[in-house]
Amino acid sequence: MAHLTTGQIGQLIEIDKAGQGIRDEVQELIKRLTSGGVGVKSDDPRVVQAKQLWDRALFGHAQGFNSFKDYLATIPEIPTFPESYADRFPLLVLVDARLPVVRQCPLLGVNFSGDDQTFVDYERKTAKTGKVYWIRAQDGRKNNGKSAHACREAFGDDEVGLSALEGLAIYAQNPDDLKGRAMELPGSVRRGRSNDRTAFLTWIDAGLPPMLHCGWDGNKSPDSGTASRGK
């Protein structure tokens, strides 16, 4: 539980009673303050990333967890990845796939006009089957100016394109890194157009919310690159 005095909680309750158009926000803040989501300090990446999903995206609340401790207990330990991944896939990322795309996007402030049937796995045999897991990934910057199709064809045996949920996981942990660019996610393809339509997470216009959508996998742009992870 966060260190909050009785008087401070009382002040929040009084603000909540007064209304002033912020009742829901105050209720959410009280909930977070009293459930351990604020004030947790740690150098452990497992705790840090789980706390980011708890505090910023409210993933834990959306799944019915009553405290950060309860949510953290469902987060697996970080596995040991091959040493070769360190340079090629510099990002360690927690993926909580228990919430589908249509639930995650509004929690993260991402516009998405599709539904949970919009995307399918490009290759089922390389898709992750766990609901909560860790990946080593790269966010696509090294592939700027290359098409998703070309990148997918050039992947080695131990590399696969990120899925839409995995792209959202990167954004959840590093939101500012997407500003002014697009991240191509060739692990997810448009249902019925799997041969040429892949998922994109874009934030080209910083004045608007980021958007998850799909586009032609032959697109080339200096502000867009294909993201991938170690298999």
DSSP conformation letters of 167-201: HHHHHHH-GGGGTT-EEEEEEEEETT-TTTEEEEE
Q: What tens digit of pLDDT does each residue of 41-50 get?
A: 789 999 999 9
Q: Is 107 helix (H, G, I), strand (E, B) or coil?
A: helix
Which residues are registered as beta bridge partners of 134?
Answer: 94
Tokens found for residue 160: 């696969």
Q: What tens digit of pLDDT does each residue of 107-160 get?
A: 999 999 999 999 999 987 777 888 999 999 999 999 999 999 999 999 999 999
Distances from the Cα of 103 to the Cα of 38, 156, 162, 170, 223, angstroms: 23, 33, 19, 16, 27
Roughly what angle, to the nearest 10 degrees, separates helices 164-173 and 101-108? 20
Whether this prediction's pTM lies above 0.85 is answered by: no
Q: Which of 144, 148, 140 is nearest to 217 (CA)?
A: 148
For the chain, which residues make up each domain, given as ranges? 6-72, 85-230
Place 2 in a pLDDT band, splitting at 50, 70 and 90. Answer: very low
Q: Is 98 helix (H, G, I), strand (E, B) or coil?
A: coil
- pLDDT reading at 216 higher than 50: yes
Sign of the CA dihedral 62, 68, 72, 74?
A: negative
Q: What is the pLDDT of residue 205?
A: 86
Q: What tens digit of pLDDT does each residue of 159-211 get?
A: 999 999 999 999 999 999 999 999 999 999 999 887 789 999 999 887 899 99
How far, in Å, CA of 226 to CA of 183, rounded? 6
